[in-house]
Structure formats: C-alpha cells, structure tokens
Amino acid sequence: MSRKIENSARSQLFCATAILASIWSSAALAQAGSPASQASPAYGDQDPEIIVTAQRREERAQDVPISLTAFSPQRLQQQNITQAQDLQASVPSLVVGSGGNSNRESQIFTIRGQGSTFQSSPGVVVYLNEVPLPAAFSANQQGGAGNFVDLENLQVLNGPQGTLFGRNTTGGAVLLVPHKPTNEFEGYVDAKLGNYDNRQFEGAINVPVVDDKVLLRVAGAYQDRDGYTRDVVWNKDRDNLHWYSGRVGLTLRPSERFENYTMLYGSNSKNNGVGLIHRGYNIDALAGFGLCYEGPTIPGAIASCDVYRAATANAEALGPRQTAFSVDTFSRTKTWGVSNTSTFDVSDEITLRNIVSYQRYRTIYSADPDATVLQAEDDNASVLPAPGQVTLPGDGTPLVYENAISGRPLDDFRQITEELQLQGSFFDKRLEVTVGGFFFDQRPSSLQEVRYVVFCPAAFTGFCPVGVTGYSVKNSSKALYAQATIDLGLATPALEGLKLTGGIRNTWDKVTGAGYGYGASTDPADPVGTIRCSLNPSIDVIDPVQDCAYGATLKTSRPTWTVGVDYRVSPDLMVYAKVSRGYKAGGFNSGAVFANTATFSPETVTSYEAGFKSDFRVANMPTRLNAAYYYLDYANIQRASGDFNPDTNGVGSRVLGAEARIQGVEVDASIRPIKGVEIGGTFSYTDAKYTKYEAPVNVAVADCSGGVIPVGGTASFKCLPFQFVAPYIYSFHVSAEQPIGGNLGTLAMFVNYSHTSSQHSSPSIGEPNEKLEPYGTLNLSIDWRKIAGSGLDVGFYATNLTNKLYRVGNANTFNSLLFTNSLYGEPRMYGARARYAF
C-alpha cells in the first residue's frame, strides 16, 4: 500500500475524531445543559474500572506497579479481537507473529524482544483461568482456537513474571480470565456475518441452579470463513477458518468460607493450511551444489536452473493472494482440559487456594514451505497431485509425486499442573503476603513424527527419498515461591502510601528428550533402499526407530526474584521502580546432528523498570497517563539456527546462546473531553542490541568481523539485528457512546489506527526479504445497543479498513534450504453482527 494511502488512513482517523467529538459534544450539551452545571467526574467514574489479577489478587489496574494492558469484553468486541494476532499494535512492545512456522495457528507473543524460538518453551506464557495453556513442541503454539470466547477480561503483563506465576517467563504473561458463573439467570447469543463468507456464532447461558450455592455457566462458539489465499493447483482457499469450542463453568459454595470453581473447555480446528507465498530460490547455491545447471533440461538428468526461475516468475505473476502448492496442505488441532480452583477463607485475613489442571493437546498439519509445485521441505505431505496434473515450470514435463504423510501427529501430549497457594492480607491491607508451590508435568501421549523431503532436484520430483524425524520430550518443573508487599505507613504515618515489595522463587526443571531421524542413504556405494540414521549414518539400520534413537536429559535450577518500591504520591498518582530476574528453561533439540547439541541451556533476564500511573484533569477533562522505562540484561538467549555435520552430511538444527541489552519506553494515555467520549492511544519504543553472539562454525562463514571464519573457528554475529522487535509501535483510538432520546438505546462507535514499524524476522546475514515492512491498519466498529430498551444490539465492524497489504512472517531459509517464502496478514474484513442478551 502506498504512503499516500497510509497518510489517508491517518487523515480518516483525525477526521473521525473531530466529527465524533463535535456530534457527541452537541448531544451531551443538549441532554445535560451547560457543562459548568456538571461536576467533572474522576477518570474511572465514567465507566467501571477493569479489575485485574496481575499480582494474583484482585485490584485496579492503576494500582498495580507494573506495565500492563487490560481489555474489557466490550473493548475486545469493538476491536474484533478473537485471536492472538488481533492484539498486534494494541499493546506496547508486543509483537505477534508466526516465527517462521508454516502454520497460521502458530501465533507467537514477543514482548520487549523476548519470545520463543524453535523447540523452546514460551517466553510469554498464556494462562486460562490461572493455568498455563499447553505449548506445542513443533510450532510454538499455545492452546487452540476459541480461547478468547466469553472472557471477563484479557490482561497483558510486560516483563518477567517468574515470582508469582506458574511457569517461569522472561518476557511477560497473557491472562485470559473466563467469565465465571454469577447468581443471575442470564446469557447472550451473538452472530456475525461478513465477507469471505464469514459465519460466526457465540453464546452463553448462566444458571443459578441453587441460589448462591450452585452456579452454572455454559458457553460455546463456532466460526467458518473462506480463506483469502487461493491455491490455483488445488483450487482451494488457504488461510480459511473452521473451528468450534465450548466451555463449562461450575461454582459450588457449600459455605460462606469455601468456594470451588471447575472449568471444562475444548476446541477443534480444521482448515486448509497456511497460504505461504513463494519469494525465490537461491539459484547460485542450487547450481553450486549440483542441483540445477544452466541450459535446457535433459530428461532423466538434473533440471535446468531456468525451471526454478520459472517457478519464481509464476509466483510473482500470481501475486500475494494466490499460490501454487505441490501438496494439499491442512491443519488439525484438538485441545481440551479441565481445571479446578478451590478457595478456603481460613480467617478474615488468610485464604488458602488450590489450582489443579489436566489438559490434552494434539495437532497434525502438512506444509509446502517453498510454495511451488516443486518439492522442497514438503512436510507431512497429504494427497499429492496425480501425474500430469502439474508440470515442471517453464518445461512442461509432467511431475510424479510420492505421498510422504506419516499419519502421526506432530504434537500429542498431556499436561498436568498443581499449585497450592496461601494468601494473607493483614493490617487493613497494609501487608499482603503470598506463598506457594507449583508443579508442572508435560509428556507425550503417543509417538510424534514428521516426514519431509529436504530438497528434491526438480527433474526428480516424486522420486527423492523421504526423511523422518520422531521425537518425545518430557518437561517437568517444580517451584516454591513467596512474595510480600508492606505499606511503611505501618511504621509511621509519615510513610503512608510508600510500599516495598520483595519476592523470591526457586525452580527446578528437568527436560528428557528422545528422538530418531533417518532417511534413504545418499552414498552411491550403498544398495538402493539402504536406510541411514541422521545422527550416525555409519551403522547398519534394520529397525530405524530403534537403531537411530538418541536421547538426552537436562536438569537445571535457577532462583528468580523481584524487589520493588511504589509510592502513592496522591490518590491519582503512583510512582514505582522495580528490579526483577526472569528465567526460561532449556530444552531438547530434536534436530541435532552432533551429540553435544542435543540440549540447550536456560536463558535469564534481569529487568530494571521505573514508571508512573496517573489520573488528572486538563481543562477539567479527566485524563489518564501511564508511562514506564525499562532496561534489560538478557543472557544466553535461545536462538535457533541451522546446523551441518560434514562428517555425516547430516542437516539439522541447533540452539545458540547470545547476550543482549534491551531498553525501551511504554506510554498509555487517554482523555475524556465529554462524558461518553474517549480519545487515547499507546506508544512504545524498543531498542535491542546484541552484546555477544558467538558460535563455532563447521562450514566457512562470513561474520561481523568482515572476514571469513574457517571451519573450526568461532564466528561473531553480534552486529546482526535483533529479531522480532519493532522499534516503534503505536495506536490511536476514539471511543464514543451516547444515549438516544426516548429510551431508544445507545449509539456507540469505536475507531482505532494501529501502526507497527519495520522489524527483522531473522538473525542471519544475507537473508532476502527477512525485514518485514512497516504497516498500519484502520479498524471501525459501530453499534446500536439496547434497542428500544431491549437486550438487542446490532452493529457493523471492519478491520484493516484500507485493505493494507502487509507481511507478518518470512521463512528465512534462503541460505539454508535454498528458498524463501512470506506470510501476509489479513485483508479487509467486515460484516454485520447482532447480539441479544437476556
């Protein structure tokens, strides 16, 4: 999209702001008379404040001394936030992307430059009902579809949360708080119809089975939407949606001091896979490895390099919303779980809580990463085109394919958590104490495996050997923690409002991994059909799963802590400062080609943060301004990289450690010029730089020194850009609500513009297209609520109103797998919705 259209989007937002302010101002004056006759309310008095649980207890967001963003159910609906990607640019310092995965449902949270890499645990953990959602091993995905349904609120916490929360994190936490049963018979049904044949339905019913004793809430949702990337080979839409989910909540209150809440959820997603777009082949490297040659293709020989050029030219002609796959890709994810929270008030000051959960996660998908009719890294290929259905690009020779599907899931595991917590509130809440223990155990439920074709010369498409990788990873974690906050006003009234916080936790992690990798031998001396192991090709293979097996165990233990101070200068101003240590466990590398790279070490971060939260008035208009500055020392950063063993010709992966310093500023501001109107926005600046990034090399490579490091040397990559960091992220919004005379209801409008600056998606040198371009999206929501005093709302919504074309991911495999692809964001989506609440 051109700069002209980008500026037009900003102009539209500015105009909308001015028009809305004018219309609502006139309406408000007409209803209320002179503004001088009305007392100006405090900021939070115009609508209910969101109550958050960032410190594992309920409190106003403005009273929590950390940087956080909270969304009410109404704001989630107005912004049409139904999945992780929809939060992009609405939260300071947050980047949501695919991380190079060939699965659209893999949406990775990165906060302040900290996220997850291939095969590592999340740097930002997503919690549902205070329980971490299952995190996939193959694609860095947490949970399944439908988790954003029927929420009381959604909270994004920036910075390490390793003292109070279940799993250790370095970047932050996302809290999904489900709507719990109430003592009212109530519910709602919601329907949306939109472009791309979108059909979306959601509903919930709340039943007090026994007044204030047995409360039940049942919620469900369904979405079916066509894809926006057309596969011209298979005549199918990729990037489509088809899922359904459900949730049941049951609250039991046998006495005033005891409450038990059980939540059962499940979701099932099935779609046609991700619409990757081919962006080019590494012709020089293909020719150098003898995989193509300059000149016409000779039957039965290596294909001409012009075949690859023709495939790229075909992709360019198709454009960013069409593709041509060699395999019929798909994605299927099933997840379900049950969690139980028991709360017992031992006394008026002490509460005992126990949170236990059991969850299952299973996913299988296939992908065509090079996004052409040729075979390159085709993963878990499903039914392939019949002979003659597709031909060599620019050649016309019919292609023959071999089915490489394994039928086994890429992820299939169960997860158990148990947390016992004691909370104390003493001296009229001047002393808050939390102590507890946490246990986490995740292990496979069945054999997990992927089959793939690494790179097949074009002329031999369908006849190249299939590689197989299987893996089994068990993760267990145990932790003890304690944290206390004391108001020094306990000692002397002169220090009233000055609070000190201290917390400590120790975590013991154990990762046990086992895997196998094998494929047909490439040694001409071996008989046809000989199988060789990826890690040790010298042995004779009879049973590849047994003979090629390898394993490793990693045990680690780390303390994490936080020390902070906050001071309530006035009822409307709080300042704070804190220092925190975060930690993320190490892991198992299923793609190891060396025995000493089968595991990788934990990463740690020390975070220094200072900020303020304030409510005040400008020209008698309620105004809110929150700001924070942070500085991070980030050590042993888990960075995935390709790997090669020249002794075995094994191609795989490894995880390198790096060090960096990251600093930034986060701002959240809003003003309410008249009742019912809010103008606000968020801004963040992130500056990330490696201070050390070294790796031994087994092939000659150019590094940051400007020279070529020979085999056996150590290369420095600290000059490389920091990936998944957008230096500037900002958003503006205008929210307006006004009652319509005659009890006709309320008219509401929400407009927001969100912008993400350019970001690097790869830490490697010489990867084309790895830098994602900056982009901004304009969203609009208009609703007529409680029509004629009823429970009926109707509305219109539109996201990416200007139909901005932007990329959200890049494969970054040009130098390793000799091709690259890109992943594009959603086009303009719009539709009508109706909601009836009773």
Q: What angle do CA 475, 722, 683 make, to 5 degrees?
A: 100
* pLDDT tens digits for range 807-836: 998 988 888 889 999 999 999 999 999 999
Write the DSSP string, 432-468: EEEEEEEEEEEEESS-EEEEEEEE--GGGTTTSPPEE
pLDDT band at 13 (very low <50, low <70, confident <90, very high): very low
745 close to 81: Cβ distance less than 8 angstroms: no
Q: Compare 498 and 30 and report the one with higher pLDDT.
A: 498
pLDDT band at 399 (very low <50, low <70, confident <90, very high): confident
Q: From residue 711, how far is each of 243, 644, 702, 714, 767 by CA, in Å?
A: 50, 12, 11, 9, 21
Q: In 3-state terms, what secondary structure has residue 501?
A: strand
Single-letter residue type at 386: A
Q: What angle do CA 735, 737, 743 make, to 5 degrees?
A: 170
Q: Which pLDDT does position 647 carry in this prediction?
A: 59
Q: From residue 44, how far is each of 51, 614, 746, 757 by CA, in Å?
A: 12, 11, 20, 32
Q: Which pLDDT does position 408 carry in this prediction?
A: 83
* pLDDT tens digits for range 687-701: 999 999 888 777 778
The tokens 């609070």 sit on which residue?
Answer: 499
pLDDT of residue 20 exceeding 50, the answer is no
pLDDT of residue 643 exceeding 90, the answer is no
CB atoms within 10 A of CB 245: 24
Q: From residue 376, how far is each of 308, 399, 455, 456, 565 by CA, in Å?
A: 11, 14, 4, 6, 55
pTM recorded for the entire structure: 0.90
Q: What angle do CA 24, 27, 28 make, to 5 degrees?
A: 85
Q: Which pLDDT does position 400 carry in this prediction?
A: 75
Burial 604-637 (b: 16+ CB within 10 A, else e): bbbbebbbbbbbeeeeeebbbbbbbbbebebbbb
Question: Average pLDDT for residues 200-205, to the nearest whole number?
Answer: 97
Long-range contacts of residues 314-318, Cβ cutoff 8 Å, at least 24 apart: 314/372, 314/393, 315/277, 315/278, 315/279, 315/371, 315/372, 318/232
Q: Which pLDDT does position 7 carry in this prediction?
A: 47
CATH number assigned to the domain with residue range 3-518+527-837, chosen from the 4 options 2.40.170.20, 3.30.1330.10, 1.10.357.10, 2.170.120.20: 2.40.170.20
> Which segments of 521-570 are extended strands (E)?
531-533, 549-570
CB atoms within 10 A of CB 520: 15
Q: Compare 537 and 441 and report the one with higher pLDDT.
A: 441
Q: Which pLDDT does position 101 carry in this prediction?
A: 67
* pLDDT tens digits for range 263-297: 999 999 999 999 999 999 999 999 988 888 888 77
Domain boundaries, the chain: 3-518+527-837
Closest to 204 in 3D by CA, of 253, 241, 151: 151
719 close to 689: Cβ distance less than 8 angstroms: no
Listed in sequence order, the DSSP H helices in 721-767 are none
Write the DSSP string, 598-615: SEE--EEEEEEEEEEEEE
Q: What angle do CA 443, 448, 450 make, to 5 degrees?
A: 150
When the pLDDT of each residue in the chain is averaged and rounded to a whole number, the result is: 87
| Identity of the highest mean pLDDT range in 218-227, 545-554, 582-591 | 218-227
pLDDT of residue 650 exceeding 60, the answer is no
246 close to 336: Cβ distance less than 8 angstroms: no
Dihedral pair phi/psi, residue 774, rounded to 5°: -65, 155
Label the pairing between strands 792-799 and 241-255. unpaired
Q: Which pLDDT does position 296 carry in this prediction?
A: 79
Q: Which pLDDT does position 813 carry in this prediction?
A: 86
pLDDT of residue 640 exceeding 80, the answer is no
